Structure 1
Amino acid sequence: MRTGYASIFPSVLALTQRASANFFLKDIFVGHDFLDGWTWQTIDDPTHGRVNYVDQPTALQANLSYATGEKFVMRADDWSTVPASARGRDSIRIVSNDAYEDAVFVLDLEHMPQGCSTWPAFWTLSEKGPWPKGGEIDIIEGVNLATNNQATLHTLPSCTEPDYPDRRQTGTTISTNCDTSFNFNQGCGVSFTSPAGSYGAPFNAARGGHYAMARTRQAGVQVWFWPRSHPRIPEEIKSGADVLWPNPSWGTPVATFSWNTCDYDAHFDAHQMIFDLTLCGDWAGNAWSTSGCGTDSCVDYVNNNPSAFAEAYWEINSLRVYTPKW
């Protein structure tokens, strides 16, 4: 008996019908577009990682960031031993200059950072803040040797995502309280158990794939993932069409978050996009002892093993942002 569930999580068809207005290509980032449309942040890592975020001139000079006509790459230093007195291993954290409310974000990603101590993320964050006011949406995130991606919301109190049987997603709910003050900022997360190869080494071995995140006031947040070899990648996703809308041909989202138990206006506003790669820190560091990465401490590993970071890089083919025209 499932009395009362249907009103909590509508079907995928209902979600896509409610968000069926066309979305039009607003911004496209390919290759050199990232150099002009994003800011290289040099802040101390908010998650306490063993990392030193560098500015754009430093990143370009050291080849930590570079662009071609078709690719954009950013990575961690994989040649230096890090002194104990240093802030951490050189790495990159970039934030988009523009912010978006209702939008569809489509990322064609060839390679993501992988390996022990790594904690890469592609996410959106309130432009106004201060965090967690205005909310956070993690689209790609994981640590160490993980092979399943995780999508998560982080918010002020009174936002939950109950795991009712008719929550339309292929992923597995691992937490339902989005409040950052609950359980050490775990957030309300969904693990990408299907399709396979959504994160880390398996993702990179398959030459990556396509991620899409739709965020609308009507339908909530949905995240899709298609491996590059998936036989049914929507044509508009593959081709980078100028107009699209989330529809049943996209299949069931891997992660679904509704506003039924999380008031939109109280928890979310316009978001900027962020790519970052931190090392160790609050998640990867705390998970180190069970990561299978060895007996050294996470910090010692980062300091003394530069060659371990040869695969710690983002290789982006394109990022497209679509917004509605009302």
Structure 2
Amino acid sequence: MSFTRNLTRLGGILALGVTAAQAAYSIQDTYDPTNFFDGFEFFSQPDPTNGFVKYLTAEEANALSLAGLANEAVYMGVDYTTLNPTGGRNSVRVNSKKTYNQGLIIADIAHQPAAQCGTWPAFWTVGPNWPYDGEIDVIEGVNLDTNTTYTLHTGPSCTFTQGDCNAPGTGNIGCGTSSQDTQTLADGFNAIGGGVFALEWTASAINIFFFPRSSIPQDITSGQPNPSTWGQPQTSFSGDGCDIPSHFRDHSIVFDTTMCGDWAGKVFGSDPTCSSKAATCEEYVAANPDAFKDSYWLVNSVKVYSDNSTMKRDAPFARRFIA
């Protein structure tokens, strides 16, 4: 697939709101190709998950054609030309400048990083004091995974049927569940032209929905989303084992693609396909730049809806310390 990239303009803005169950949602913020990079900032510090990656500044990513616009969508990619890069392969990680408490986030994504040994892409939200302000992983997988894993990370005293979300007490694993749907991640997702993920975050539940491109509800396309009509979510974190408002606060929204590190690197050797290619994850990523040509995001939009009761504020980005 070829792209016509417009990398001279970086624009954007994102948002998230609060809502009660069955609430009528109204649009709070829209991030699309006209303004996305105005509302997101580039994280260019060392990868907190110890990945073999170098996250670029906005200026660096723009100059190297790793962030901009392609096919009328927001493009965020990985370097696929440099052999044996020093310190890790160049990549992009961005987070929303605004932070939010509860609401409905709807992300229309055309392409995810393809399944490839060494990669670890994610779309997630996170609070400023990890893990005590929580993390919600919506799209996440490593190496040749075929379906996303929905995962929460918190401090102590937060348990759902999916498990104990206490990151310090679970070796940073948190609580999660596989989508069991190959259309939700990487090659399976890209083969259907992408789709929509919806995160409904209320005081009583965290629900995650997925809709393939051909099955997006009309109320989403019309801008009047009503989750109560969507049927069962792919996963629902609810119950009296966790006080959601005290464990999930002030989240920014994040897209990134890292390499190897605490998850992809750790399990690289247990994948027979990946382990047959190189002795270590870092060795493979360094020596095979062409493998990462399709390791890019194409985002049509991220829209955030609320019942207008959310208090939001600008906040610095919180580092992510686990998968």
Q: Does the pair score TM above 0.5?
A: yes
2:155 matched residue in structure 1: 156
* Kept after mapping to 1: 8 A contact 2:193/2:213: yes
1:44 matched residue in structure 2: 46
Find 1:325's aligned residue among 287, 308, 311. 308
- 1:207-286 matches, within 5 Å, as 207-217=193-203, 219-230=204-215, 233-239=216-222, 241=223, 243-247=224-228, 249-286=229-266
Matched, 1:24 2:26: yes
Letter in 2 for 1:130: N
2:104 matched residue in structure 1: 104
Find 1:293's aligned residue among 274, 278, 295. 274
* Kept after mapping to 1: 8 A contact 2:110/2:190: yes
Distance in 2, matches of 1:281 and 1:98, equals: 28
- 1:62-81 matches, within 5 Å, as 62-67=64-69, 70-81=72-83
* Kept after mapping to 1: 8 A contact 2:41/2:94: yes
- The alignment's TM-score, normalised by the length of structure 2, stands at 0.85
- Deviation, structure 1 residue 141: 0.5
Structure 1 75/224 Cα, relative in aligned 2: closer, same or farther at 3 Å?
same
- Deviation, structure 1 residue 181: 1.6
* Kept after mapping to 2: 8 A contact 1:31/1:69: no
- Deviation, structure 1 residue 318: 1.0
Distance in 1, matches of 2:70 and 2:288, equals: 29
Distance in 2, matches of 1:68 and 1:26, equals: 25
Unmatched tracts of structure 1, length 5 or more = 1-16, 163-172
* Kept after mapping to 1: 8 A contact 2:28/2:308: no
* Kept after mapping to 1: 8 A contact 2:42/2:92: yes
2:35 matched residue in structure 1: 33
Letter in 1 for 2:269: S
Matched, 1:206 2:189: no
Q: Note the alpha carbon deviations across 1:228-287, whole angstroms, 9 max, x for none.
A: 123xx3112234x1x33321x212100101151012243121211011100001111111
Matched, 1:305 2:306: no
Distance in 2, matches of 1:255 and 1:38, equals: 27
- Tell me the matched-pair count: 287
Distance in 2, matches of 1:18 and 1:27, equals: 18
Distance in 2, matches of 1:64 and 1:213, equals: 27
Structure 1 144/266 Cα, relative in aligned 2: closer, same or farther at 3 Å?
same
Distance in 2, matches of 1:77 and 1:321, equals: 30
Distance in 1, matches of 2:118 and 2:221, equals: 32
Matched, 1:181 2:168: yes
- Bigger mean CA offset, 62-71 vs 106-115: 62-71
- Deviation, structure 1 residue 147: 0.8
Distance in 2, matches of 1:202 and 1:265, equals: 34
What percentage of aligned pairs have identical amino acids?
39
* Kept after mapping to 2: 8 A contact 1:31/1:68: no
Distance in 1, matches of 2:33 and 2:89, equals: 25
Paired residue secondary structure (1:189): strand
Unmatched tracts of structure 2, length 5 or more = 1-18, 310-323
* Kept after mapping to 2: 8 A contact 1:32/1:69: no
- The alignment's TM-score, normalised by the length of structure 1, stands at 0.84
- Deviation, structure 1 residue 43: 1.3
Q: Structure 1 stretches (4+) deviating beyond 2 angstroms?
A: none
- Bigger mean CA offset, 257-266 vs 206-215: 257-266
Distance in 1, matches of 2:282 and 2:20, equals: 48
Letter in 2 for 1:177: D
2:131 matched residue in structure 1: 132
1:88 matched residue in structure 2: 88
Distance in 2, matches of 1:259 and 1:91, equals: 38
Q: Note the alpha carbon deviations across 1:23-63, whole angstroms, 9 max, x for none.
A: 11111111131121100010111110000000001101110
2:140 matched residue in structure 1: 141
Distance in 2, matches of 1:246 and 1:216, equals: 12
Letter in 1 for 2:61: A
- Deviation, structure 1 residue 18: 5.8
- Deviation, structure 1 residue 294: 3.4
* Kept after mapping to 1: 8 A contact 2:205/2:238: yes
Q: Note the alpha carbon deviations across 1:76-114, whole angstroms, 9 max, x for none.
A: 00000134xx22100001010111112100011111012
2:183 matched residue in structure 1: 197
